[in-house]
């Protein structure tokens, strides 16, 4: 019989073998956290390696994602579809063992982690999801949704500011099924962290309203007792501070920064295995150790027990069971298309002049009745972003709610939303001013990388927001978002385009969507059936010429579209013929076939002008190098929105004068 230390050493051996073979990676944390992982995964972690997508499994988040060799070792040992061959291909092109864990790449990996601290925030989102979904579906004697979210974090995760944002909110929300293990090895890349990370972490988390307990990270009983104590504190999230030694087992590199992010080297690897009493060749695990680690039988039994409970649940609550399966499979209601198309038709008949942020709130109130899975909130800007709708209920005091007051935490909000999206069963939305999307940018990138389904609402989209000045007026942010792979960006011009943008966002299965909305009121446009149909293509002709020849193509978005239409009328009155294209979503237009693209932008029409109150570089893609872009390549000013539009040249007279020069060439 093998001891628990030997079972933990199996993790250490595989991890250092992976890093050594790749000649790249981070052996220190896997060696230091192996004992914690052995206790958690063998004694407490509820999962089924035969079904990594089982909905009621515990979730595991490796926030210190550079420790990926630890997670891959665990998945391999417990019976997931991750072969020893894949471990040998660690960090190699096309392998299932990339340098940092990637959601959708490796079976058993619950979320992509790497940028430190974001995994911790993702886990807060998962814990919110578990409690909220459970409050909706659980009934007496039927705990259909009932599991824990476990997180491994390192010093770096807790140094990152996002940890404060996420953990402060987690404590406020009393997320008792969130349990975090802090690998307190006191070493980071630059050396002993005491020189730059000297705070009292225990008191910090107690101030967040967390339950905090310390443990010897290399003592099985100490770790087990800490976990049991955490599970008993059902009204607080728990932080288990595990005092460990980085590179545990290495005779010459343990407790030194050198072991954080570099292979041990062949000689030190052999000395380490000898020091651990590990007698086996590289990547070899004895059958008895595999048997003691394997969780397939236990996992199958746990899931089958849940399945039997769910069968009885189906009999007693058939409608709830159907709804649960729909939501957990991320399927839209059968009446979705009919209802949303009805709303779009209704809005087309509405001539009300309102801001697109107000139009968005209208849509939210409508679809909130159809989509109970819609959950979201704002970074302390609910009255400005207009994200509270008629069916909004705060989750703070009602666990069956659907609205999250995130506080002034743009980065944390977005990363938490990533966790909610990956969890399944919800369509999350988050909101702030467009300029403050900068605070959230790395979490937006992670969302796009994982192709999560969620909606980012960014209001106050231009200099049109007015007197708050250049600190609040976005110039380059829209282009930043448009250049992000897998992120669909919509900047609608009125109520109808806003509703279509929401429709496309809800139906988007290939990544997140950003809705860029105005603060100022915008007029409503009349459209024929073809124009209405073509909005969903990302760009369409909103005004065309009745002449055989097109002298000029104007393309615009959002609040500048009405100005562009007025400019077009003036140009036509001077004897020219112009076409106006509304392009609310460039990335959506880019996906259309070549025939449609050439229909909108005939190659023979070389005189093209883009008009948008933002940075200009993006638009050369559509107007060509010889085209003209009327935009803003400097920061704004403090003044009323209409004053600024005039100051920056967004007037009919100024633009027409510039277009005359082009047309007369």
- Residues annotated as catalytic (active site), given as ranges: 410
Q: Do residues 506 and 371 make contact, with C-beta atoms less than 8 angstroms apart?
A: yes
Beta strands in 438-487 (DSSP E): 455-459
The 10 Å CB-count burial string (b at 16+, else e) for 261-273 is bbbbeeebbebbb
- DSSP code string of 259-326: GTSS---HHHHHHHHHHHT--SPTT---HHHHHHH--HHHHHHHHHHHHHHHHHHHHH-HHHHHHHHH
- The terminus-to-terminus CA distance of the chain in angstroms comes to 89
Only one residue has tokens 């059958």, namely: 287
**Interacting residues of 652 by C-beta distance below 8 A, sequence separation 6+:** 563, 566, 567, 570
Which neighbouring-strand residues pair with 152? 62, 181
Indicate the DSSP class of residue 533: H
The conformation of residue 522, written as its DSSP 8-state character, comes to B
Cβ contact 152:183 at 8 Å: yes
Assign 3-class secondary structure to 614-648: CCCHHHHHHHCCCCEEECCCCCCCCCCHHHHHHHC
Q: How far is CA 563 from the centre of its chain?
A: 35
Distance CA 337, CA 359 (A): 19
Contacts of 90 by beta carbon, 8 Å cutoff, 6+ apart: 18, 19, 21, 22, 25, 69, 72, 97
For residue 149, report the phi and psi dihedrals to the nearest 5 degrees. -115, 120
Tokens encoding 264:
């041990």
Report phi then psi at 152, rounded to 5: -105, 130
**Quick check: 146 and 134 in contact, CB under 8 A?**
yes
Q: How many CB atoms lie within 10 A of CB 256?
A: 15
- Is the distance from CB of 237 to CB of 175 less than 8 angstroms? yes
């Amino acid at each position: 019989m093998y001891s628990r230390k030997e079972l933990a050493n199996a993790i250490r051996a595989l991890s250092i073998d992976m890093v050594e073979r790749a000649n790249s990676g981070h052996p220190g944390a896997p060696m230091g956290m192996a004992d914690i992982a052995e206790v958690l995964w063998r004694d407490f972690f509820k999962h089924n390696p035969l079904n990594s997508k089982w909905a009621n499994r515990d979730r595991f988040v490796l926030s210190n994602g550079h420790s990926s060799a630890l997670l891959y070792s665990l998945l391999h040992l417990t019976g997931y579809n991750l072969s020893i061959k894949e471990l040998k291909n660690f960090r190699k092109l096309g392998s299932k063992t990339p340098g940092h864990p990637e959601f959708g790449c490796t079976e058993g990996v619950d979320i992509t982690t790497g940028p430190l601290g974001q995994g911790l925030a993702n886990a807060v989102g998962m814990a919110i999801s578990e409690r909220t979904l459970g409050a909706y579906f659980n009934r007496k004697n039927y705990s259909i949704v009932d599991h824990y979210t476990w997180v491994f974090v390192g010093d770096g995760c807790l140094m990152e500011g996002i940890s404060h944002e996420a953990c402060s909110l987690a404590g406020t929300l009393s997320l008792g099924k969130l349990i975090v293990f802090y690998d307190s090895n006191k070493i980071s890349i630059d050396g002993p962290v005491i020189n730059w990370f000297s705070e009292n972490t225990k008191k910090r988390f107690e101030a967040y309203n967390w339950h905090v307990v310390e443990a010897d990270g290399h003592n099985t009983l100490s770790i087990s007792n800490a976990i049991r104590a955490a599970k008993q504190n059902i009204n607080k999230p728990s932080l288990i501070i595990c005092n460990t030694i980085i590179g545990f087992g290495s005779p010459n590199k343990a407790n030194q920064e050198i072991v954080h992010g570099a292979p041990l080297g062949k000689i030190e690897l052999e000395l380490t295995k000898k020091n651990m009493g590990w007698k086996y060749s590289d990547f070899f695990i004895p059958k008895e150790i595999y048997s003691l680690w394997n969780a397939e039988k236990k996992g199958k039994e746990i899931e089958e027990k849940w399945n039997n409970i769910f069968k009885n649940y189906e009999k007693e609550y058939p409608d709830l069971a159907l709804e649960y399966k729909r939501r957990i499979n991320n399927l839209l209601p059968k009446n979705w298309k009919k209802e949303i198309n009805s709303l779009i038709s209704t809005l087309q008949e509405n001539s009300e002049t309102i801001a697109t942020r107000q139009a968005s709130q209208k849509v939210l109130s409508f679809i909130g009745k159809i989509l109970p899975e819609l959950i979201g909130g704002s970074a302390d800007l609910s009255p400005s972003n207009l994200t509270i709708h008629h069916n909004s209920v705060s989750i703070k005091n009602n666990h069956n709610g659907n609205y999250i007051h995130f506080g002034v935490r743009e980065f944390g909000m977005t990363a938490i939303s990533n966790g909610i999206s990956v969890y399944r069963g919800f369509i999350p939305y988050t909101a702030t001013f467009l300029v403050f999307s900068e605070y959230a940018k790395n979490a937006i990138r992670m969302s796009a990388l994982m192709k999560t389904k969620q909606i980012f609402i960014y209001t106050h989209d231009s200099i049109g927001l007015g007197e708050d000045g250049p600190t609040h007026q976005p110039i380059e942010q829209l282009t930043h978002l448009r250049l992000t792979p897998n992120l669909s960006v919509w900047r609608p011009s009125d109520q109808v385009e806003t509703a279509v943008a929401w429709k496309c966002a809800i139906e988007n299965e290939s990544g997140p969507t950003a809705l860029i909305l105005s603060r100022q009121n915008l007029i409503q446009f009349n459209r024929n059936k073809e124009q209405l149909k073509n909005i969903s293509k990302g760009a369409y002709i909103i005004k065309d010429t009745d002449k055989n020849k097109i002298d000029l193509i104007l393309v615009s978005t959002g609040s500048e579209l009405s100005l562009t239409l007025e400019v077009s009328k003036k140009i036509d009155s001077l004897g020219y013929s112009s076409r106006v294209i509304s392009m609310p979503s460039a990335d959506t237009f880019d996906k259309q076939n070549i025939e449609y693209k050439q229909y909108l932008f005939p190659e023979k029409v070389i005189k093209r002008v883009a008009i948008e109150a933002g940075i200009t570089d993006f638009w050369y893609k559509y107007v060509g190098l010889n085209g003209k872009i009327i935009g803003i390549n400097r920061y704004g000013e403090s003044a009323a929105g209409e004053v600024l539009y005039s100051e920056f040249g967004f007037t009919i007279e100024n633009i027409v004068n510039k277009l005359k020069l082009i047309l007369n060439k």
